[in-house]
Structure 1
Amino acid sequence: MNDLAATAAPGRTPCAPTLRAALRRAAPALAAYAAVRLLGVTVLAVWSAANGKNWHTLLTARWDSLWYTRVAEQGYGYSVQLPNGDVHSNLAFFPLLPWLERGLSAISPLSAADAGMVVAWLASLGAAWALYATGERLHGPRAGMALVALWAVLPVGIVQSMAYSESLFTALAAWGVYCVLTGRWVWAGVLASLAGLTRPVGVAVVAAVWVTAAVTVRDERAGGANLRAILRGRHRGMLPGVLLAPLGWLGYFVWVGARQGSPTGYLDVQGSWGNGFDGGIAFGTFIWHQLSGPAFAAGLGLLVGVALVIWLYARGVRQGQPLPLLVYGGTVLLLALTAKGYFGSKPRLMLPAYPLLLPLAAGLSHWPRTRAWLVIALIATGSAAYGAFWLNGSGPP
């Protein structure tokens, strides 16, 4: 077994030499990831300078990053009332990133905004490592490298370098799911809880832990084992992991509800932002309006994009992708496609759905190296240009 679990018993932390060996294996993938992100930031800097804008401001002090910084500096309680009467409250933003921004700025010369960017950059490397470990475990080292590269060159990959919570969430989620894959149930529960303090979609990591645990118990019992033997045997950390997993997400949901004086307090806050879940009705209506109006090409592009991500998920199912990845990736995809709100955010919302890239990574790993890297380099260039154009325009809300 060529992964972190090679010398570690289930539920235990791997020894330092194993971690060092794993990091050495992942180092080329991390270097490639850093190169792609450096290209993206460099193109952004040049493009921004040509437009009279500041690349640093675009990465740290626009859109959601301003809300995270305000939470870090002033805490919760800030809101803005729009002309139509809607109230945008900073309670919509989960607390882990602002906590880290506040902590890092308190012990360093960094502002909260700059601390957020540092956290995002470091977390994106942590996410890349987790993706490499996942791809390596399932399909070999070249697939691990391909998975990291594909995630780095996504059209909205520039968000990975912003003071947003996507990189932090993906790192926690990817390592949490990896811990489920390798039987580290307690670590999986801790990481799921932290992911649940980072973004609402943290419930996807909880689902991966819970569903995998339930199926594991079912299969073990079908083989003749009793429940006590299962939970005290090689799955002895399963019950604590299952109990820990929802604490972050549920804790923040309950806290906001208590603060708002309503069990649905967080949903009400999101509703005031125009967000929520309607089963995809609003998104489907939006696509239909595009297809039936002058923006037919844009609507067709959206339809093709939705079909592509659904096809990638189905491909993963057909290829026998492990259950934790299917549950996690499927939940992220489902929540993204069935949410209402600003539809330009959907590509960003699907950024953490890295399991969708596994079929492509597995296929790419069989290509000749020169051809594979040429394709990645071309896509990376296009992604960097698109990211610079995007942030200098409407940007990611």
Structure 2
Amino acid sequence: MTNGGRVQRLRALHPWLGRLPPWGLVLLIWAGSRLLTTTLLATLFAVATRLDWPFASYRSDPNFFTFSGSWDSSFYRQIALHGYPSELPTDAAGQVEPNAWAFLPMFPWLVRGVSAVTALDFYVAGTLVAIAFGVGAALMLYRLLAPRVGEHCALWAVALFCFGPLSFILQVAYAESLFLFLVFASLGLMLSKRYLLMIPLAVVAAFTRPGVLALSLALAILLVLRWRERDRFAWRERWSIVVAGLAIAAAGLAWPLVAGAVTGASDAYLDTELSWWTGFVGRVEFVPLTPWFLMAGQYLGVAGTVLVLVLVAGFGWWLSRRALHPLRPEIVAYSASYGLYLVAVFLPQQSLFRLLLPLAPLLGDPAIARSKPLRRGLLAVSVALQPVAIVLLWFVGYP
């Protein structure tokens, strides 16, 4: 059955579904996912409050909205209310401690503006901002995928994205939903060859969360691939790719310079990021492309090194499959670039799972939508893991 036939059969189940445009179906999926996730969050918050469970981070006024205030949100609130420290906090040994410089300013500034206009508390305003851009991210994901893989595959990708184990992050006071919206929108412009229009979106994304350098590298890969088609590769398009890639790269590298200029410490940002590593691997020097091996070797020895190599090889195999041909070259180039970014600079720990969300376009893999057991199995597992993730990340660790 064709993609269109599957969607029509879905719409035939309820007459009113047939009157919904594609974006209406996306909103319906989003609403259903938020109903489920909000119910799980509210239930676990009520149970934890009644049974006096300790939360992962201290909150002086615990309520349902400050329930989203673990870790990152508390730093975003600090930035919104007080800005960034001009001096890096250090421990008794003079080592830099975790501080606000690890977090980029766009989300807290935006929430501060909403709070100023509405007089809402930071956590309430942050939740509303996250939800708004979460809706936008789901719509952008569909718009990104539908022309490439069809409506059926795109809707299943959106469903898996919205119901994913970490989907609660799309409605709490975190910067993920804003970043995802900007990245998906930028990828959409890349697919339509409007490279220069990517710049403002990607620059905002660069000051929202780390990871925008993957867009710049994807453009570089695209330039190399298109160069082989010189007869059909206009000079104007070449220069647009080059200008967009350089501008995005500059934005992606700017925050460490800002942190160094304000604090007077050239390694302020790097030292701040490394301060989060101490609980896992102790005090170490940063060497690109080694964090995954460092973490795996620390806890699993040689087996850990082999595991990392297997994961990298498996990811490369997935991207090289013929089934992903509809997503090439832009989406595959971006996915490879973002995967390389994670391996190059990120120490894998509990935050890894939410940092995988920018790879959501790969959920448009036609092999997923074609296999009924696979797509239903993935959806069922995703829903089942949501309460597990909430308990682990909000009551044991931090998200």
Q: Give the TM bin, normalised by the shorter chain.
A: 0.7 to 0.9
User: Unpaired runs of 5+ in structure 1?
Assistant: 1-22
Change (3 A) 1:394 1:356: farther
Residue matched to 2:395: 393
Residue matched to 1:88: 98
Q: Is the 8 A contact 2:212 2:248 kept in 1?
A: no
Change (3 A) 1:116 1:209: farther
Change (3 A) 1:244 1:345: same
> Are positions 1:127 and 2:137 aligned together?
yes
Residue matched to 1:190: 200
Residue 169 (structure 1) aligned to one of 159, 170, 179: 179
Residue matched to 1:329: 335
Deviations 1:103-154 (A, max 9, x none): 1111112222222222211111111112112221211001111111122233
Residue 57 (structure 1) aligned to one of 66, 78, 91: 66
Kindly provide the amino acid, as one letter, of the partner of residue 66 in structure 2. T
Residue matched to 1:153: 163
Change (3 A) 1:285 1:210: closer
Q: Which moved more, 1:261-270 or 1:84-93?
A: 261-270
2:315 and 2:46 map into 1 onto residues whose CA distance is: 38
Deviations 1:267-316 (A, max 9, x none): 233234438853454433433454469xx9xx89x949x85675355223
| Deviation of the 1:169 alpha carbon | 1.0
Change (3 A) 1:274 1:380: closer
Residue matched to 1:260: 263
2:375 and 2:29 map into 1 onto residues whose CA distance is: 10
For residues 211-250 of structure 1, the aligned pairs below 5 Å read 211-216=221-226, 218-220=227-229, 222-223=230-231, 230-231=235-236, 237-238=240-241, 240-250=243-253
Residue matched to 1:31: 28
> Are positions 1:316 and 2:322 aligned together?
no
Q: Is the 8 A contact 2:65 2:127 kept in 1?
A: no
2:90 and 2:348 map into 1 onto residues whose CA distance is: 18
Kindly provide the amino acid, as one letter, of the partner of residue 389 in structure 1. V
> Are positions 1:41 and 2:38 aligned together?
yes
> Are positions 1:287 and 2:274 aligned together?
no
1:357 and 1:307 map into 2 onto residues whose CA distance is: 21
| Deviation of the 1:165 alpha carbon | 1.4
Residue matched to 1:363: 367
1:43 and 1:101 map into 2 onto residues whose CA distance is: 25
1:202 and 1:100 map into 2 onto residues whose CA distance is: 19
Residue 98 (structure 1) aligned to one of 101, 108, 112: 108
Kindly provide the amino acid, as one letter, of the partner of residue 29 in structure 1. V
| Deviation of the 1:201 alpha carbon | 1.0
Residue matched to 2:287: 278
1:96 and 1:88 map into 2 onto residues whose CA distance is: 19
1:190 and 1:392 map into 2 onto residues whose CA distance is: 34
> Are positions 1:352 and 2:358 aligned together?
yes
2:176 and 2:197 map into 1 onto residues whose CA distance is: 20
Q: State the number of aligned residues.
A: 358
Change (3 A) 1:324 1:261: farther
Kindly provide the amino acid, as one letter, of the partner of residue 177 in structure 1. L
| Deviation of the 1:28 alpha carbon | 0.7
2:98 and 2:313 map into 1 onto residues whose CA distance is: 32
Change (3 A) 1:70 1:42: same
SS in 1 for 2:396: coil
Cα RMSD for the two superposed structures: 3.3
2:23 and 2:313 map into 1 onto residues whose CA distance is: 29
1:130 and 1:328 map into 2 onto residues whose CA distance is: 16
Return structure 1 stretches of 4+ with deviation > 6 angstroms. Answer: none
| Deviation of the 1:48 alpha carbon | 1.7
SS in 2 for 1:200: coil
